[in-house]
A and B are shown apart, each in its own frame.
Chain A
């Protein structure tokens, strides 16, 4: 049964309301900011910090997806387009209480029958872009010049979370930041590209 965008928004709202424990997002923003500063001091290399933030996010994502699946009654997404909708309207809403806008790369087919949808949005290479109009991680943050020059993606943990969560539901994706208001860009955008669907098998341990 096709679920409309509005229905996903409602599901997201319900899930957010039913979360039993909520904490002040300022605490989270302050903790994350201090952690990034500490990582920069330890690694002294912005590319490495980006990598470590992504890795941290990957580990968080693998746990978050379990939490998400346990609490929501959503079934398998029929195509990658639906994945984007669920991630933006339900996923982000239930954990961070924000709803990024989502733009899909393939034009949506007039009917959402699986056979035609598979042609358009199930193909490796399809992608969606999340546009965050507010970023709870970056609440009190200003980047110094050397961080800008060094190529730091401050909220890179989000990329890892998406990669880890989607890998646990058998999708291998590439997630990267396209722009960030902290860097002076107009908007904060994350692109998620489907690389391939994974077979059901025991995942190879990393490291």
Chain B
């Protein structure tokens, strides 16, 4: 293979992507979730303390005695667990989604560098299903459904982030954890869409491991 001056220059201008080990990334994500669990508890405790201080100082009226709890639609909240897990999971989930949005937005920018403008939102969704999915998770989406009115359902039958989840406490526990871990990928999709100009919502759903679906709702005028 002869390296001509042109190809040497083009390597300088467009260097091959630097890679790191996939297993290291997996361990990192596991521990990141644990670290976020602790940090969100610390942040929540601090917020509660500030609120208590303000109540004591008479700056705000005391909160109503009934505990506010948004019933989440995930199955785990109906299994009679104490109120800790749903609230703390919400903190972790929102943090994971925020991190995902940052990653998705910036990464999509890098991926879109050489491609032409998107023709319509279906084009964007196809970009997500093919290019984004294969860059992040080494495969493409298995099934895409749409109602042609702004709702898209992406189905991946072996979603990489949750493909290897198992729990010594059994299938149900593994499923519960998987629902938490998919918050980061949902954020990545949402961030990528938002960076391209489509500000919608992405709701992940895991019913049987390792299959995962993402329901994307885009606003009506796009």
CB of A61, distance to nearest CB on chain B (Å)? 9
A interface footprint on B55-76 (CB within 8 Å = 1, 0 otherwise)? 0000000000000000000000
Contact of A60 among B27, B42, B110 (CB under 8 A): B27
Contact, CB under 8 Å: B103 / A41: no
Contact, CB under 8 Å: B28 / A60: yes
Interface with A: B14-22, B80-88, B120-128, B210-218, which one? B14-22
Interface residues of A in 39-61 (CB under 8 A from B): 39, 41-44, 52, 55-57, 59-60
Contact, CB under 8 Å: A22 / B106: no
Give chain A's interface secondary structure class. Answer: helix
Q: How many residues of B contact A (CB 8 A)?
A: 35
- CB neighbours of B25 from chain A (8 A): 23, 27-28
Interface residues of A in 20-74 (CB under 8 A from B): 20-28, 30-35, 37-39, 41-44, 52, 55-57, 59-60, 63-64, 67
Q: List 22 A-B contacts (CB under 8 A).
A: A19-B21, A19-B23, A21-B22, A24-B17, A24-B18, A24-B135, A25-B18, A25-B20, A27-B107, A31-B28, A31-B32, A32-B28, A34-B99, A38-B36, A38-B98, A55-B35, A56-B32, A59-B31, A60-B24, A67-B23, A95-B23, A95-B24
Contact of B20 among A37, A44, A136 (CB under 8 A): A136
Contact, CB under 8 Å: A31 / B99: yes
Q: Could you list which residues of chain B lie within 8 angstroms of chain A, going by C-beta atoms?
A: 17-25, 27-29, 31-32, 34-36, 38-40, 42-43, 46, 95, 98-99, 102-103, 106-107, 110, 135-136, 138, 184
